[in-house]
Amino acid sequence: SAVISQKPSRDICQRGTSLTIQCQVDSQVTMMFWYRQQPGQSLTLIATANQGSEATYESGFVIDKFPISRPNLTFSTLTVSNMSPEDSSIYLCSIGGWGGQPQHFGDGTRLSIL
Amino acid sequence: ILNVEQSPQSLHVQEGDSTNFTCSFPSSNFYALHWYRWETAKSPEALFVMTLNGDEKKKGRISATLNTKEGYSYLYIKGSQPEDSATYLCASAIQGAQKLVFGQGTRLTINP
């Protein structure tokens, strides 16, 4: 299966700053997904990133807060902007399916906001 | 809104015992049901993908069943081992929506 490299693996950030998370895949994929898991919550889809088009955001997530880039078929970034303590979460990128095929995840970014 | 529920939220099991837990999902417009295992400091790992009512899948000591008419899936672990300690996530997909909706997970701890 594809190898997914996500970085940083963890970070501690100051309130009001922004952090960009990178996700690199060793093969070309059409769709990449960005998830967040806040403490005690379920893994929640932030947006779907397709190469060559704007990302599709889920209800409750907006582009100004979570801008996403997808410059090619192997790479994507998620920026968490103007961070507050509520943004402390694990952020995951993934590839793969939602139907008959499983998703494959990066190792995650564990983000803490002071 | 697609709501996926898992129970129990956490579970402690003695090594060697068998256990099971539940995933409930809306049965209308069902497309697929996924199970993942998420160990601490690692990425979620796919266990099973099931699409047909009555599906049963097995991977070593772990198996899963699917009932799409009533909207539930069971995950079974036989003869639990310490390495089974992890959070087990289920996720459901509905027709027409190109995404998975995850439950909150069942956190399993195996006591030696």
* Cα dihedral sign, B40-B42-B47-B51: positive
* Average of per-residue pLDDT values in chain A: 94
pLDDT at B2 over 80: no
- B4 at the A interface (CB within 8 A)? yes
Distance CA B100, CA B90 (A): 9
Residues of chain B in contact with residue A33, where contact means CB-CB under 8 angstroms, are 99
C-beta atoms of A33 and B99 within 8 A: yes
Of the residues A25, A34, A43, A91, the best mutation for testing chain B's interface (the one with the most B CB atoms within 10 Å of its CB) is A43
pLDDT at A97 over 80: no
Asked, as a colleague might, if the bond just before A8 is cis with ω within 30 of 0, I would say yes
Cα-to-chain-centroid distance, residue B17 = 18
Q: Which residue has the tokens 């006591």?
A: B111
Q: How many CA atoms within 13 Å lie on the side-chain side of B84?
A: 28
Please tell me the distance in Å from A26's CA to the nearest CA on chain B. 16
- List pLDDT tens digits, range B32-70: 999 999 998 899 999 999 999 999 999 999 999 999 999
Reported confidence tier of residue B16, pLDDT bands at 50, 70, 90: very high
Of the residues A5, A103, A104, the best mutation for testing chain B's interface (the one with the most B CB atoms within 10 Å of its CB) is A103
Distance CA B86, CA B39 (A): 5
- List pLDDT tens digits, range A8-66: 999 999 999 999 999 999 999 999 999 999 998 889 999 999 888 889 999 999 999 99
Task: Check residue B95 and give its pLDDT.
Answer: 85
Distance CA A35, CA A90 (A): 8
Nearest CA in chain A to B32: A99
* Average of per-residue pLDDT values in chain B: 94
Which of B31, B46, B102 is nearest residue A42 as measured by Cβ atoms? B102
Residues of chain A in contact with residue B97, where contact means CB-CB under 8 angstroms, are 98
Residues of chain B in contact with residue A95, where contact means CB-CB under 8 angstroms, are none
Nearest CA in chain A to B35: A102
Reported confidence tier of residue B1, pLDDT bands at 50, 70, 90: low
B25 is written with which tokens? 């999902």
Average pLDDT of the residues in B15-26: 96
Per the CB < 8 A criterion, the answer to whether B90 and B103 are in contact is yes
Percent of chain A whose predicted confidence (pLDDT) is above 70: 100
Which of B4, B44, B99 is nearest residue A98 as measured by Cβ atoms? B99
Comparing B79 with B99, the larger pLDDT belongs to: B79
